[in-house]
């Protein structure tokens, strides 16, 4: 399976990149934030270590940031893994797979353009 879980982005960076503001004590493993699934302002809990998330109000939940990407982005597993830069074929990161940083994403698009000719 070309999915490499170790390449998943840091949960805090991932959720903050999605516009979520994580609230709670600095030492707390679980932070409170907005639930984008039902629009609740403070019902989502996210685990900053594992990336697990659960909404205390509407019940949406997942075990990691990949599950969030699938649910929030409406993606298939493979597409979500590629979007997070965690899909690896033949032991090499595919040049067309958008990585987590905007810099790599730009490179990927450029590569696609050159392939289309």
Write out the binding residues for Zn ion, residues 35-64 only, by CB under 5 A: 35, 37-38, 40, 55, 57-58
Residue whose CB is less far from Zn ion, 55 or 86: 55
For Cα atoms 91, 5, 19, give the angle at the middle one, nearest 5 degrees: 120
**Please, what is the minimum distance in Å from the beta carbon of residue 29 to Zn ion?**
20
Parallel, antiparallel, or unpaired: how do β-strands 44-47 and 30-33 relate?
A: antiparallel
Tell me if 20 contacts Zn ion by CB under 5 A: no
Q: Any idea which residue has 């699934």 for tokens? A: 37
Size of the site for Zn ion (CB under 5 A): 7
Pinpoint the alpha helices (H) of 1-117.
Answer: 11-17, 65-73, 77-83, 102-116
**Please, what is the minimum distance in Å from the beta carbon of residue 84 to Zn ion?**
22
Residue whose CB is less far from Zn ion, 35 or 70: 35
Please count the CA atoms within 13 angstroms of the CA of 39 that sit on its side-chain side: 0
Residues contributing to the site for Zn ion (CB under 5 A): 35, 37-38, 40, 55, 57-58
């Amino acid at each position: 399976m070309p999915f490499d879980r170790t390449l998943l982005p840091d949960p805090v960076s991932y959720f903050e990149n999605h516009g979520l503001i994580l609230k709670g004590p600095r030492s707390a493993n679980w932070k409170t934030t907005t639930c984008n699934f039902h629009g609740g302002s403070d019902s989502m809990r996210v685990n900053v270590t594992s990336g697990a998330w659960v909404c205390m109000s509407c019940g949406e939940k997942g075990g990691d940031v990949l599950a969030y990407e699938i649910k929030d982005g409406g993606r298939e597993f493979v597409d979500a893994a590629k979007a997070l830069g965690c899909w690896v074929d033949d032991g090499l990161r595919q040049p067309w797979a958008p990585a987590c940083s905007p810099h790599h994403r730009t490179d990927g698009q450029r590569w696609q353009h050159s392939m289309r000719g």
